[in-house]
């Protein structure tokens, strides 16, 4: 039997996008020229090569990973490390970038205050129609979070977008003693500010991985737009 690697459809899509992005920039041709210039010298030659190598990649960053303001998807997921799994479970919602960062509006281990700060720095877009917010878990569903501030900022930066919130996870790590009531009370504040709450919550599970609940959440998100 021929051996190979098992990858998901999402990973296959990401590899294809990276290949197309690098091809568009001509980076493979430039890299080949650079390698041909490399001689079998000492430490200095190796250092010079790595410097040129880093400069080449910094000038040719994949376009798909750094979309401009007008290239944003119509339906986006923002928030914490659960965001990619929410996106993967949906047919319609996408990440701004598969690489988590402040400009992507999602990153692992982050809280609502981080997301609010990131949105404030973001240029926003009139093209975005729907936003799924996945935040709160890393802050232990802090009742002091500036939820209304986040919503106001999103409405300002994405004036044509309808807002949804995905309820987080608990029962793992530092959230072992978290109650579902506290979780739901936290997201009730989103609802009170006009945000549609998506059912069910990610739930009392360790959330990292394509768990079955993400398909349910994704389907309910898709049906809401």
Q: Looking at the 3D structure of the chain, how many domains does it have?
A: 2
Mean pLDDT, residues 173-194: 97
> Which of 8-12, 71-75, 154-158 shows the lowest mean pLDDT across its residues?
8-12
* pLDDT for position 2: 47
Distance CA 187, CA 201 (A): 10
Mean pLDDT, residues 136-155: 98
Statement: residue 27 has pLDDT above 90: no
* pLDDT for position 3: 47
> Which of 41-45, 111-115, 153-157, 169-173 shows the lowest mean pLDDT across its residues?
41-45
Q: Are 202 and 172 in contact (CB under 8 A)?
A: no
CA dist 214 → 31, 135, 187, 191, 198 (Å): 40, 15, 18, 21, 11
Residue, of 103 and 14, whose pLDDT is higher: 103
76/114 same-domain check:
yes
56/107 same-domain check:
no
Statement: residue 170 has pLDDT above 70: yes
44/140 same-domain check:
no
157/195 same-domain check:
yes
Give the confidence band of 46 by pLDDT, cuts at 50, 70, 90: low
14/89 same-domain check:
no
Q: Is residue 3 part of a domain?
A: no
* pLDDT for position 62: 46
Task: Provide the CB-side half-sphere exposure for 131 (13 A, CA).
Answer: 30
Statement: residue 39 has pLDDT above 80: no
Mean pLDDT, residues 62-85: 79
171/109 same-domain check:
yes
Statement: residue 85 has pLDDT above 60: yes
Average pLDDT value over all residues in the chain:
84
59/74 same-domain check:
no
* pLDDT for position 71: 83
pLDDT above 70 as % of the chain = 69
110/60 same-domain check:
no
Instruction: Tell me the three state secondary structure of residue 132.
Output: strand
CA-closest candidate to residue 89, choices 221, 208, 207: 221
* pLDDT for position 150: 98
153/171 same-domain check:
yes
What letter would DSSP give residue 42? -
First to last CA, the chain: 45
Q: Are 115 and 78 in contact (CB under 8 A)?
A: yes
Please state the φ and ψ torsions of residue 55, each to the nearest 5 degrees: -65, -40
166/115 same-domain check:
yes
Q: Are 26 and 70 in contact (CB under 8 A)?
A: no
3-state SS of 66-101? CCCHHHCCCEEEEECCCHHHHHHHCCCCEECCCCCE
| Full domain range(s) for residue 124 | 69-223
Please state the φ and ψ torsions of residue 139, each to the nearest 5 degrees: -95, 10
Statement: residue 36 has pLDDT above 90: no
């Amino acid at each position: 039997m021929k051996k190979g690697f098992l990858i998901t459809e999402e990973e296959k899509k990401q590899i294809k996008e990276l290949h197309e992005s690098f091809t568009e920039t001509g980076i493979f041709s430039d890299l080949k020229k650079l390698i041909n210039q490399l001689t079998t010298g000492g430490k200095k030659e190796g250092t010079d090569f790595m410097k040129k190598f880093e400069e080449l990649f910094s000038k040719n960053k994949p376009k798909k990973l750094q979309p401009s303001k007008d290239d944003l998807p119509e339906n986006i997921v923002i928030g914490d490390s659960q965001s990619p799994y929410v996106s993967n479970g949906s047919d319609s919602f996408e990440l701004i970038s598969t690489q988590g960062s402040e400009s992507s509006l999602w990153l692992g281990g982050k809280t609502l205050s981080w997301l609010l700060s990131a949105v404030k720095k973001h240029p926003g877009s009139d093209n975005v129609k729907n936003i799924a917010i996945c935040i709160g878990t890393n802050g232990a569903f802090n009742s002091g979070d500036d939820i209304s501030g986040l919503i106001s900022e999103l409405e300002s930066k994405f004036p044509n977008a309808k807002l949804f919130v995905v309820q987080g996870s608990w029962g793992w790590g530092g959230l072992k003693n978290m109650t579902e009531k506290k979780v739901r009370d936290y997201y009730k504040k989103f609802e009170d500010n006009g945000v549609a709450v998506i059912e069910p919550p990610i739930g009392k599970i360790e959330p990292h991985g394509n768990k079955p609940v993400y398909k349910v959440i994704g389907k309910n998100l898709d049906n809401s737009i």
